[in-house]
Amino acid sequence: MRQITAHKLVLETAQKMAHELYDEVMSGSNEMYRGWKERCDAGELTREEGEKLFVQLIAPKLLEPARAILAHMLSDNSLSHLHSEIYEAMLLDNAIRAARVTPAGRARLDIAEDGSVTTMRTRH
């Protein structure tokens, strides 16, 4: 599984959303459902394995919606008992996101203590 840059609460929220989406997608007779069903019928995949694979593929794409849902929950007074946990998670998640490695191909500068640029390298 690939590394996901998110706070645990954000990731768990995205995974719960992916589980809900799996049920929604698989409840109809569309192409995706037929594809998963064919793999299950062929013995390549159990329903549980199929759902786990679906969640692994989709959850990273749901991190931003998960963050938005958690942020919206902060404005709901009926969820005030969760506000401190969500607020702390959102602050830590923001710090985690800010600390990500520089994207590949982007120039990176090393600055010496005297302020001079000592090296310049590009990540590959």
Least-confidence region, from 17-31, 79-93, 95-109: 95-109
Task: Say if 87 falls within a structural domain.
Answer: yes
Q: How many structural domains is the chain composed of?
A: 1
- Domain carrying residue 27: 8-98
Flag whether 122 is in a domain.
Answer: no
* Residue 119 maps to a domain: no
For residue 123, being part of any structural domain is answered with no
Instruction: Tell me if 92 is assigned to some domain.
Output: yes
Residue 108 lies in a domain: no
Tell me the average pLDDT across 80-94.
92
Q: Residue 80: what residue type?
A: S
Is residue 43 over pLDDT 70?
yes
HEC readout, 59-105: HHHHHHHHHHHHHHHCCCHHHHHHHHHHHHHHHHHHHHHHCCCCCCC
Is 1 inside any structural domain?
Answer: no
Residue 81 lies inside a defined structural domain of this protein: yes
